[in-house]
Amino acid sequence: MPIDIKQIVTERLGENYDLHERYINRTLVSVQRTIGFDKIYANARGAYLYDLDGLEYLDFLSGYSVFNIGRNHPAVKQAIRDVVDMDLPNMVQMDCSLLSGVLAEALVKRMPAHLNAVFFCNSGAEAMEGAIKFARAATGRGGLVSLEGAFHGLSMGALSIMGNPHFQDGFGPYLEGCHRVQIGNLTAVESLLTTGGIAAVIMEPVQGKGVKYPKDNFFNEVQRLCREHGALLISDEVQCGLGRTGKWFGFQHWDLEPDIITLAKSLSGGFVPVGAIATRREIYQKTFNQMDRCVVHSSTFGRNNLAMACGLATLQVIEDEGLVENTARMGELLVSRLNELKERHSVIKEIRGKGLILAIEFHEPKELALKLGWKGLHKMEVNLFTQMVVTSLLSRHRILTQVAAHGLDTLKILPPLMIGEAEVEKFVMALDSVLKDCRKFPGPLWDLAANFFRHSLRKPASVP
């Protein structure tokens, strides 16, 4: 008898956390239980998740930027059905599949002309691994320069160019020849490039961790120096690409011309893993430079039909629904509404971001009573205040958000790109209300934060 997935879901929904505790990552389960994130979601559509009682949750996390077009989009579901119903040949490997060719063509059409060759893989980290290999093969050099605060994935190569020690601790040694510089430190970039041993400088247009980016022409100068010294510029668009920043690609905010870009996350619309590298044809060919090296870099599932069909459907949705333009509009609205909140809440230090990758950074408030609460929490753990806000947004207002990174007092939001004014208003009102509740010190919100600490949650949940 074939397995009945519908029956499994109907009968067993609710066992989620117990199963994970028993068989998967029980530390994550403990964290979710402690911070009140142990919800059972039963359905999802667009910008909303629904629990077992049918209660609606606004998803301002988007699966870490996977659900840019919203959850369970009918166009992507149809693409999956079509592929399955046609009994298409898949991953024959010793052929050239049609759908991967058509998706590569569709991507190239949307990118600047110099990015004209595509390699498909299965994740963001895998795309970064490939980008490192392409850069090394193209330049014959080994050195890599990345930025402090960077997050490029958790496989060994990606981890080697990581700018967050938290994720590295315990997993070394790393790739040789990796250097990190602060955003803005052109002198450091130049002195590394001058050695002649650097294959590439790697940047995220807006860093996923902490939502940081240069406010000046740092990236343009890095690009100029790369050209001068024969190094490549890699733009990691895994989180920023495909509309997230209010432009098709994050590098377009600085009019850059990166030699290599990487994509993943939202490219396949949220059902099937996917990753992609786009580069200049001449760089591509340096990796696949002779017949016996034609698969020297490859991945078994890389061009699988489901991912490719979903990619085509997703690109079409982004265009048909004007999601890039909507992102720019909703991002502007959010920033201006959040700046109004900043006037009323001295605990807000800064609102920053581009499009719909936004950060609300907190600092010590001016009010005396709040100062005490803030100082107390910071003695315990630096993220606790933000975690308290994140938990309250979920428990009191049913809005899903995240702490932006370890060690930062920053709330990060990544709404789906299809939100409207109603969702913007809902979030702003909820944040206003949570920050008003914070003024009651001592009070239930501060107790909540102290409780996290008592449950020995020394590292609040900030996951990629």
Q: Where are the alpha helices (DSSP H) in 345-443?
A: 368-380, 384-397, 421-438
**Alpha carbon distance 147, 407 (integer Å):** 17
Beta carbon of residue 318, minimum distance to ligand PLP (angstroms, whole number): 19
Which residues touch 106 (CB under 8 Å, ≥6 apart)? Answer: 311, 312, 315
CA angle 122/126/130 to nearest 5° reads 120
Residue 340, token pair as written in the block: 């109004």
Between 133 and 229, CB nearer to ligand PLP: 133
**Which amino acid, one-letter code, is at 75?**
A
**Cβ 205 to ligand PLP shortest distance, Å:** 9
Minimum CB–partner distance for residue 238 and ligand PLP (Å): 3
Q: How far is the CB of 307 from ligand PLP (least distance, A)?
A: 13
How far, in Å, CA of 331 to CA of 427, rounded?
13
Cα distances from 372 to residues 13, 176, 257, 386, 391, in angstroms, run 43, 46, 49, 16, 21
For 164, phi and psi rounded to 5 degrees? -130, 100
Q: Put residue 83 in one of left, alpha, beta given phi > 0 → left and psi -120 to 50 → alpha.
A: alpha
| Closer CB to ligand PLP, 120 or 374, in the complex | 120
User: CB of residue 158 vs ligand PLP: minimum separation in angstroms?
Assistant: 7
Q: Give the separation between CA 50 and CA 56, rounded to whole angstroms.
A: 5
Q: Which is nearer to ligand PLP, 239 or 386 (CB)?
A: 239
Q: Closest CB to ligand PLP among 204 and 361?
A: 204
| Pairwise CA distance, residues 413 & 331, whole Å | 11
Closest distance between ligand PLP and the C-beta of residue 321, in Å? Answer: 23
User: Residue 81 class from Cβ within 10 Å (0-12 exposed, 13-18 middle, 19+ buried)?
Assistant: exposed
Peptide bond into 173 cis (omega under 30): yes
Could you tell me the smallest distance in angstroms from the CB atom of residue 239 to ligand PLP?
Answer: 4
- In the complex with ligand PLP, the residue whose CB is nearer, 236 or 409, is 236
Question: Closer CB to ligand PLP, residue 373 or residue 415?
Answer: 415
For ligand PLP, the binding residues (CB under 6 A) are 64, 123-125, 128, 151-153, 204, 208, 236, 238-239, 264, 464
* Nearest distance, CB of residue 91 and ligand PLP, angstroms: 20
Residue with Cβ nearer ligand PLP (233 or 438):
233
H helical segments located in 293-400: 305-320, 323-344, 368-380, 384-397
Nearest distance from residue 214's CB to ligand PLP, in Å? 16
Of residues 70 and 208, the one with the C-beta less far from ligand PLP:
208
| Structure token pair of residue 37 | 């994130």
Query: Which residue blocks in 141-280 are alpha helix, DSSP H?
Result: 156-160, 165-168, 186-194, 218-229
Q: Which residue is nearest to ligand PLP, using beta carbons?
A: 124
* Nearest residue (CB) to ligand PLP, 359 versus 431: 359
- Cβ–Cβ < 8 Å for 318, 242: yes
Q: How many helices (H) and strands (E) does the chain have?
A: 18, 15
Closer by beta carbon to ligand PLP, 274 or else 435: 274
Nearer to ligand PLP, 31 or 264 (CB): 264
Q: Measured from the CB of residue 135, what is the shortest distance to ligand PLP in angstroms?
A: 15
State which H helix or E strand residue 123 sits in: none
CB of 207 to ligand PLP, least distance (A): 8
Rank residues 97 and 239 by Cβ distance to ligand PLP and give the closer one: 239
CB of 275 to ligand PLP, least distance (A): 7
DSSP state of 154: S
Which residues have CB under 8 Å from 3's CB, separation 6+? none
- Compute the 3-state secondary structure of the chain and give helix, strand, coil in percent, each to the nearest 5: 45, 15, 40
Helical segments of 207-322, H only: 218-229, 281-287, 305-320
